[in-house]
Structures are given as C-alpha cells and as structure tokens.
Amino acid sequence: MSSTTQGILDVSAQPSLIEGDPQLLELSMGPQHPSTHGVFRMNVVLDGETVVKLKPVFGYLHRNHEKIAEKQTYLGCMPYTDRLDYICSLTNNWAYARAVEELAAIKIPERAEYLRIITAELTRLQNHTCLVGFLMQDMGASGTPLMYAFREREKILDLFEALTGARMMCNYMRFGGCRVDTPAGWLAETQKVIDAYPKFLDEFEKLLTSNEILMARTQGVGKVSKELAVSAGLSGPMLRACGVNYDIRKVDRYGIYERFPFRVPLGDHGDVYDRYMIRLLEMRESLKILQQAMREIPEGPIQDPATKPRLFRPKVGEAYGRIECPKGELGFYLISDGTGTPYRFRVRPPSLINLTILEDMCLGATVADVVIILGSVDIVLGEVDR
C-alpha cells in the first residue's frame, strides 16, 4: 500500500512510454465512483497498480453560476452562493458579503461581526469533522469514524437550523450584517455544543491519530513541496500542511479576527497525514475562538441601517474580497457598472484550484493512494464545477 515515488516519476517524464505501450492501462475513475466525492472523473493511466498519468475531468455539475449571477440582483446572488460548497454555506455567504462590503465600503455592527465569527467557526468545525470522516471512509474504515463525525455534525446543523431556518442552505448573511438575530436560548445551546466538543475530539483522536493502519496509509503519501504549493495556489489546510504559514484570518485580519488570539497549525511533510493533523489541530483553535466569541458577544443591532440590501446599487468599480473558508481561500471578484446587477461575478473556488496539482501528487502512487490523496484535498463538486 505504501508508495515509492522516485523511480516511477522518471518513467512519467518520458511520454513515449505511455503512448502505445501495451503494458499500460487507461482507467476512468468516476464519475460515479463513491471515492470521488460526487460527480468527478479522473482519467488514470496505470502501469500495473502504479499511476503514470492522471487527468481530472470536470464539469458534470456545471451550471454556470457566474452567468446566472449576471442576471440577478446583488441580493439575489446570495442564496446561490449556498450551493457552491454546500457543506459550508455560511462561509460562502460571508465571502460574498465581504466582496460586496469592499465594493461599497459598508460598516458591520458589532453583534453581527460576532455572529459571523461564531457561525463561520462552527462551519469550520463541522466541515473538518466531516472531512476526517470521509477520509477514513475512503481509507476503508467503513462506517464508524464517519458515523461519529456525522453525529457531531448534526448537532451543529441543528444549531444552524434553529438560527437560519435551514440545515445546509443557510442564506444567512447580508451586506452590512446578518439576516436574523439569534432565537431565545440559542446561545446557551451553542455553548453546550462547544463545551462538549473537545471531549468528542479527544475520543476521535484516540480512535484515529495514532492508529497504525492510518499512519501506514497516509505518511509520505501525496507529498507536496513548499515551493510548488505556493506556485500552484494551494490554500487553506492544504497549503499549511506543506509548512507555509498563510492563514487569511491572520493576513487580511478581516472581520474582527485580530481580537482573537489563536495559533496557525503548520505541517512539516506536506503529506496526507499532515493534512489530516492540520484539520484536527485547526478544530481545537476554532474552539478557542468560539469560546472567546461566546463570552464577548454584545447586544445590539445586527444590520447596518444605512444599507438597503434590496435596493442595493453600488457605484462603478470593482472589488476582490476573500476569506479563509474551511477549504481554503474563497474569493469573490465583482465588477459593478452602477446598475443593480453585477457586470461580472467571479468565484475563486478553493476546491478547484487545490486540484491543480492533483496529478503531481498522484504520480507514482497506487490506485488505493489516489483515493485518499483526493480525499485529503477536501473537494465539494458544487464548488469545483460551479
């Protein structure tokens, strides 16, 4: 199961060996393969069990989100952003709201800032928990870790449902604030979930982190160098697992993140195991942020009264706004021509751009490794294909 990379990488450097070699086998992994996390296909050329070429094929879920947005009002685009990365709709909302707020210099009330941080960090918790569950499922740990993860995720989704009315398609944030205030008792319930979470993480880690099979399958698999990671535009846990200290929450200090002391976990090797560990460590940091936010959240308005989302018409100009969403850097680039609809609406999808070097990661690996390398990238096809 372990990968030996060096010798086989040399083979792939000579394309003549691939063309017309009767030894090689071309295999289509996906689009209905369960390990591809949706409708995603990889055309893999195999030499025995070893990958010598891999071409990802996209577009099965393409609905041209960006074109649809060009026919919508600015507010009308907000529910569509939920459908990008449908696991983390709240951070998608925030990224889009941030781009619009950059475009029109909108102020956000204090309480809304705290609600944004609380919902975003809860989203990060449930996304990373889920991802670890999926990764274990891909690795063959059938059932148990995934079900543990889903049990915890459901507690957070219940909170989202109580707050926004929907488990996954939250459509919660607005330019200049949030849509609704917390219902009675919501903060107390949230506090309960946050307080109970470290215990679950301890249990989860005890089950997995030092597991021999997990280590054998993931350590040294899918390695990426620091230089390649930066050049290829990797972001989020993928980038930090390679040891690059770049967290947009720290770099851009958007929202009120500068008030929260938290650490940025970094990896050493850039392999699948590091990506797994980074996510677990990030959850601990998110819990710290959440504890502080729950202590400090003030009373007050949740929407900037000067902004009218329904009649929103920004001045001519453009803005690029980005946030650290659980999967990486999610950015929105908006060009306004002064009307009520964006002239250009661009999504920078972290899932797609993290796949740029999928082939580089998989060359020389076995088919079983390809599955977990893809699992460790953490993709959602709603965002990859848009």
Partner 1 sequence: MIVEPIVESIKAAVPGAALEIVLNPSPSAQHSIVVDATHAVAVAKHLRDAVGLQFDYCSNVTGVDWLPKETSTTTKVKRMVDGVEQEVAEVTKTSTPGYFEAVYHLYSVALRHGPLVLRMRTIDREQTHMASLTPVWRSAEFQEREIFDLYGVHFDGHPDLRRLLMWDEFTDHPMRRDYVDPDDYEYEPTAHAEVLERARKHQEGAPS
Contact residues: partner 1, CB under 8 A:
58-59, 62, 64, 66-67, 102-105, 228, 230-235, 244, 246, 251, 314-322, 329, 331, 333, 335-336, 344, 346, 348, 352-353, 355-357, 385-386
The H-assigned helical ranges of 75-168 are 78-82, 89-104, 110-139, 144-164
CB of 234 to partner 1, least distance (A): 8
Secondary structure class of 323 (helix, strand, coil): strand
Residue 177: phi and psi, rounded to 5, are 155, -150
Residue type, 369: D
Angle between helices 272-296 and 110-139 (to 10 degrees): 150
CB of 57 to partner 1, least distance (A): 9
Pick between residue 1 and residue 316 the one whose CB is nearest to partner 1. 316
DSSP 297: P
CA-based nearest residue to 110, from 340, 369, 304, 317: 304
Q: Find the shortest distance in angstroms from Cβ 332 to partner 1.
A: 9
Closer residue to partner 1 in complex, CB, 102/369: 102
Q: How far is the CB of 254 from partner 1 (least distance, A)?
A: 13
Shortest gap between Cβ of 66 and partner 1 (angstroms)?
7
Q: How far is the CB of 320 from partner 1 (least distance, A)?
A: 5
C-beta of 241 vs 357, nearer to partner 1: 357
Q: What is the rounded distance in angstroms from the CA atom of residue 109 to the CA atom of residue 164?
A: 18
- Report how far residue 20's alpha carbon sits from residue 175's, in angstroms, rounded to the nearest whole number: 57
CB 337 within 8 A of CB 313: no
Least Cα distance to 54 among 96, 84, 19, 12 occurs for 12
Instruction: Between 23 and 64, name the residue whose CB sits nearer to partner 1.
Output: 64
CA distances (Å), 240 to each of 115, 120, 231, 278, in order?
26, 19, 14, 8
Q: Measured from the CB of residue 69, what is the shortest distance to partner 1 in angstroms?
A: 11
Looking at the Cβ atoms of 321 and 364, the one nearer to partner 1 is: 321
Let me know the angle formed at the C-alpha of 383 by 3 and 37, rounded to the nearest 5 degrees.
Answer: 45
Decide whether 88 or 334 has the Cβ nearer to partner 1: 334
Q: Which CB atom, from 166 or from 340, has the smaller least distance to partner 1? A: 340
CA 285 from chain centre, in angstroms, equals 16
Shortest distance (Å) from residue 235 CB to partner 1: 8
Residue 154 one-letter amino acid: E
Closer to partner 1 by Cβ: residue 229 or 290: 229
Minimal distance in Å, beta carbon 385 to partner 1?
Answer: 6
Helix ranges, 219-338 (H): 226-231, 237-241, 248-251, 272-296
CB nearer to partner 1: give 105 or 184: 105
Q: Which is nearer to partner 1, 297 or 330 (CB)?
A: 330
Which pairs count as long-range contacts for 178-186, CB under 8 Å and 24+ apart, including other chains? Answer: 178/112, 178/115, 178/116, 178/302, 178/303, 180/302, 181/111, 181/302, 182/115, 186/159, 186/162
Considering the complex, what minimum distance in angstroms separates the CB of residue 106 from partner 1? Answer: 9
